[in-house]
A and B are shown apart, each in its own frame.
Chain A
Amino acid sequence: MKFLKDKILELRPLFKKGGKYEKYHTVFDGFATFLFTPDEVTHQGTHIKAGIDLKRTMFIVVIALVPALLFGMWNAGHQHFLSLGEFTGTGEGFLDKLIYGAIKVLPIVVVSYGVGLGIEFFIATKKGHAINEGFLVSGMLIPLIMPPAIPLWMVAVATAFAVIFAKEVFGGTGMNVLNVALVARVFLFFAYPTFMSGDAVWIAEKADGYSGATALANSIGGDPGFSLYDLFMGFIPGSVGETSKLAILIGAVILIATGIGSWKVMVSVLAGAGIMGLIFNAIGANEFMNVPFYYHFFMGGLMFGAVFMATDPVTAAQTEKGKWYYGLLIGMMAVMIRVFNPAYPEGIMLAILFGNVMAPLIDYIVVQANIKRRLARA
């Protein structure tokens, strides 16, 4: 570290005003602040100093995502070997599965970060504004919500689309209306539906004849096809990071303990899904409606979306009361889309995007209601 720091201090004059590489100072500053805490402070006015900054926030979320990523790698291998009929027990062939999964998943991570950061750096250099850590989390979320068999060029196209159209056109980090990672997924979902839905894509290099249907696809027939234990532990086909609810809950604990993710949003999304599931259980008009409501928590990406995506502080509702309505709306919409439209099995993706769009309206209503209540009291 000492070496890196010396090197940065040595190179810094080259990037200062009038230096040789002045044009690239944003890139240099980006790397420098990524590695070390910047030594520049504001000199005027009163400031409250907090231990948390954008870099630390982003890193904690990335750390919270690591369990899901590691399990996702192992599971990608596990599902592959399971379909071939090798190492069928969950305890067997641990290293083989992990290595196979890593070969499938890590390139997606590299492509997602490479393309996303490349575009961010390019735009920052062109516009002359500072590079920030805004893409660190999105770049990690994108691989986790992709099927393990996704072609890499599609990841690249989707990431580019999401960074440009969901983020940069709105003004960059912190200004986006929609969750960037979900925009990448929704782009792929509509642009290349055969690679994002169906039975064939959830297991990498699946053996022919082995059913790769997800629990959500099975549920259309009324039976999820997996035990609650398998669903909870994540021994099921699905997107890379969404399968293990255990790993997601570990992430949730990290987010809640550090105060970065809002527990209100997480709880209310699950509550909304539960309420809608109960209502459908009561109606029971088709096979899917009869699937017990608690299965909805453990199928598909509902848990992942609730913990890592709905809680995105930029796109979620900002008011404390609004977070409850926002979460309930997302949870109810997610289950509704799942049950009503078999063509869109993954309802949570569309539900969160819908919630993102509605969040400012929810905040407005909450604020106005508060003003009215206080005026009436006065």
Chain B
Amino acid sequence: MSAVETKVQEEKKPLLSKKDRKLITDPLSDNNPITIQVLGICSALAVTTQLKPTMVMAISVTVVVMFSNLIISWMRNLIPGRIRIIVQLTVVSVLVILVDQVLKAFVYDVSKQLSVFVGLIITNCIVMGRLEAFAMGNKPVPSILDGLGNGLGYGAVIMSVAFFRELSGSGKIFGFQVIPDFVYEMGYVNNGLMMIPAGALFTIAVIIWIQRSITKKFEEA
């Protein structure tokens, strides 16, 4: 679970005040769910071999986090503390099933490719983490913004992982071949390591490495 407790001051403010904007921008880098909190890694390893399913996954997670945050935030004063996890799971499950059905109806091939990983959004730590750490203690509007920010932060990282994996693993971007044929004729070969989950681990590690050397924020043990 997220160790970061973000409490938003209750005060009157215009649409998207500075604090609201921070809710969205913070998870993009300084408090990124994947690279800083290291949550939701298993889907980041599993679905990122190609950009297209990754994009669908990123959108699905964003939608689920946003709306589960919103709904739980509405219900936060009604939920008994002891059974809050069950209530949260029920809400998340409903949303995930909805998303799954929509994917099956409109992008069937991608839905098949993602297979169980859409269903596994239910157990994605980012969703539960945001509900516990944010939505249970904040008003609906900040909650939905927080969900949006975390979804985008998650999406940004897995999209960049998928970009490098698809580029080096199959020479394509969004299914279009970008490495020209003459390079292959010269002896270039696609990197099979990037197609297996180990490749995603290395890519995420490099992204974390780059991010921390730019932001200079380290977690000292």
Contacts and interface: CB of A to CB of B under 8 A. Distances in A.
**A and B bind:** yes
Interface residues of A, number: 12
A191 interface: yes
A197 to B, nearest CB: 11
B98 interface: no
B187 interface: yes
Nearest to A187: B193
A169 B213 CA distance: 13
Chain A binding surface, main DSSP class = helix
B191 A192 contact: yes
Interface residues of B, number: 11
A192 B209 CA distance: 26
Contact of B194 (A153, A165, A191, A194): A191
B192 A190 contact: yes
B198 A153 contact: no
Given A165-B202, A190-B198, A153 B187 contact: yes
A195 interface: yes
A195 B188 CA distance: 12
B196 interface: yes
B189 A195 contact: yes
A326 to B, nearest CB: 24
A151 B184 CA distance: 13
Most buried by A among B187, B192, B198: B192
A193 interface: yes
A194 B189 CA distance: 10
A154 B190 CA distance: 11
Given A151-B187, A153-B187, A193 B202 contact: no
B52 to A, nearest CB: 23
Contact of B193 (A153, A191, A194): A191
A154 B192 CA distance: 12
Interface string B83-120: 00000000000000000000000000000000000000
Contacts of A169: 209
A194 B196 CA distance: 16
B197 to A, nearest CB: 11
B116 to A, nearest CB: 24
B175 to A, nearest CB: 22
A55 B27 CA distance: 48
A190 B193 contact: yes
A193 B194 CA distance: 12
A55 B191 CA distance: 35
Contacts of B193: 187, 190-191
B187 A193 contact: no
B202 A191 contact: no
Contacts of B194: 191
Nearest to B194: A191
Contacts of A191: 191-194
Contacts of A195: 189
Nearest to A188: B193
Contacts of B198: 190
Interface in B154-212: 187-189, 191-194, 196, 198, 202, 209
B113 to A, nearest CB: 22
Most buried by A among B188, B191, B194, B198: B191
A115 B145 CA distance: 48
A154 B188 CA distance: 9
B202 A192 contact: no
Contacts of A187: 193
A154 B191 CA distance: 10
A319 B209 CA distance: 34
B42 to A, nearest CB: 20
Nearest to A186: B193
Interface in A173-216: 187, 190-195
B204 to A, nearest CB: 13
A153 B188 CA distance: 9
B189 A192 contact: yes
Contacts of A165: 202
A194 B194 CA distance: 15
A206 B193 CA distance: 27
Contacts of B188: 153
A195 B192 CA distance: 11
Nearest to A190: B193
Contacts of B202: 165
Interface of B: 187-189, 191-194, 196, 198, 202, 209
Interface of A: 151, 153-154, 165, 169, 187, 190-195
21 contacts: A151-B187, A153-B187, A153-B188, A154-B189, A165-B202, A169-B209, A187-B193, A190-B192, A190-B193, A190-B196, A190-B198, A191-B191, A191-B192, A191-B193, A191-B194, A192-B189, A192-B191, A192-B192, A193-B192, A194-B189, A195-B189
